Amino acid sequence: MKHTDFGSMPCPIARSLGKVGEWWSILILRDAFYGLTRFDEFEKSLKIAPNMLTRRLAGLVEGGLMERRQYSARPPRYEYVLTKAGRDFKPVLLAFVAWGNDHLAPEGASLLVVSRETGKPADQVLVDANSGLAINDEDYMFAPGPAATEGMRSRLIQIKQPARA
């Protein structure tokens, strides 16, 4: 099945989905953050068919999120490691953890993000690094960036974003 190419869309959300929007890809990235690097490790962890794993790893390499490195010459064996772009995906995974625990885990959290020093669970919030304030609907909104198309500018003007009370 041919998927729509979001790479030429001006929306950063659409472009991001074009790189990692398929669930296997996101789970492979999750496992890479857990420390897995080898094909057989991903295959065993995910219980994914080898042909599907091959395609998804190739897509992540092509998309610049992982790098394929040879670790054995005889026989030739490769590992898959996160690139800078792949490592920069971690906040997205952390957001999935927080959202999933809050909305999809009536039995309780099965995965936590904890402080290495204290072992206490983090209370994850998205923070504006410039001000130190939590990003919320009252104080922050979407706005067109310098490269926004007229269509995006028009759409952002038309939508009703929650205003400060």
- pLDDT of res. 21: 76
Q: Which amino acid would we find at residue 4?
A: T
* CA distance readout (Å), 115 to 31, 48, 56, 132: 20, 32, 32, 19
Q: What is the pLDDT of residues 4-29, one digit of tens each?
A: 777 777 788 888 888 887 899 999 99
| 86-158 matches 10-82 in CATH topology | yes
Residue 137: predicted pLDDT: 87
71/67 Cα distance (integer angstroms): 12
- Residues 25-72 pLDDT 10s: 999 999 999 999 999 999 999 999 999 999 999 999 999 999 999 999
CATH number 3.30.310.50 is the correct assignment for the domain at 86-158: no
Report percent pLDDT > 70 for the chain: 95
Burial class (CB within 10 angstroms; exposed 0-12, middle 13-18, buried 19+) of 155: middle
Evaluate if residue 165 carries a pLDDT over 80.
Answer: no
CA distances for 27 relative to 57, 100, 125, angstroms: 11, 14, 22
Q: Which of 120, 113, 76 is nearest to 96 (CA)?
A: 113
- 10-82 maps to CATH 1.10.10.10: yes
Average pLDDT, the chain: 91
Q: What are the sequence ranges of the domains in the chain?
A: 10-82, 86-158
**Tens of pLDDT, residues 83-115:** 999 999 999 999 999 999 999 999 999 999 999
Which residue matches tokens 């009536």? Answer: 106
The Cα 161–Cα 141 span in angstroms is 7
Contact call for residues 161 and 138 (beta carbons, < 8 A): no
Confidence of residue 2 (pLDDT cuts 50, 70, 90): low
